[in-house]
Amino acid sequence: MRDVDNLIHLSNPHLEKMKDDILYHFALGTSTHDFPALFGDVKFVCVGGSASRMKAFITYIAEELGLGSVGADYPNICAGTDRYAMYKVGPVLSVSHGMGIPSIAIMLHELIKLLYHSKCSNVTIIRIGTSGGIGLEPGSVVITSQSVDATFKPQFEQVILGKTVIRSTNLDDQLAKELMQCSKEIHQFNTVIGNTMCTLDFYEGQARLDGAICLYTEEEKMQYLKAAYDAGVRNIEMESSVFAAICNLSGETAVTLISPGSLYIHEAIVTFFTYISK
């Protein structure tokens, strides 16, 4: 448990001038919802791609941690929109983010504002999901130390007002070490700490051979993946860079746990939650 309150930071002075803040893609707003009452106790936020997976996750978390009754149903807090889904039990919030950098970026902007308006503190945000592994057995859990782009640079690049802005993609080193120590103690999962490569697409960007377009050879693919491995990359996905960049700017403790080749890493998350909640 952290000793000092870590409050959410908004890097936007314009929000102070707004009478109401509408979180469009969550169908929530400060004039229509009591954010501190609804979310003020949130300490853990887990985000993942699909809505159905995040509902299954919150149900699993509730049962395993004794936070809800057996067979209970958890309503979608964002039922007023079909963009994202959000579920809550106790101090745990589970939110879907869709696929790719644009989708998770929109969600994160509104999630950060939600946590700010709710006056949350000491929040840990964990992205969970699947990925393509490099040199790992299927089902291994990768704890991301930093996200790198397709050229293996630890940065997130975005064009804002016609200018290229580069932001850091490092994730919380201490939390990663704690989670790694936890995995060693429980001996249930093959877990590694490594770089996660974030790409802009699922096919060519990840050196796949089965897309509609592929203008490189299998040999060139393998050379690229070997170079990635040598650069410390252990898996590939499409959201980690902007996840790290936005969390860094907002002051959250954040990490990504990704399981190459396995759809379910709920057990790992439950164990990790129990560990870092002490």
> CA nearest 242: which of 160, 136, 149?
149
What's the distance, CA 132 to chain centroid?
16
The reply, when asked if residue 2 is annotated as ligand binding, is no
The reply, when asked if residue 127 is annotated as ligand binding, is yes
The reply, when asked if residue 208 is annotated as ligand binding, is yes
The reply, when asked if residue 265 is annotated as ligand binding, is no
> CA nearest 48: which of 247, 239, 249, 272?
239
Which secondary structure element, helix H or strand E, spans residue 35, and what is its range? helix 35-39
The reply, when asked if residue 251 is annotated as ligand binding, is no
The reply, when asked if residue 274 is annotated as ligand binding, is no
The token duo for 167 is 């932001």
The token duo for 201 is 């697409």
The reply, when asked if residue 223 is annotated as ligand binding, is no
What's the distance, CA 156 to chain centroid?
15
The CA distances from residue 274 to 149, 179, 191, in Å, are 32, 11, 17
Q: Taking CA 95 as the corner, what is the angle to CA 91 and CA 96, rounded to the nearest 5 degrees?
A: 165
Whether 15 contacts 21, CB under 8 Å: yes
Binding site as annotated, residues for phosphate = 83, 127-130
Annotated binding site for substrate: 206, 208
Residues at the binding site are 83, 127-130, 206, 208
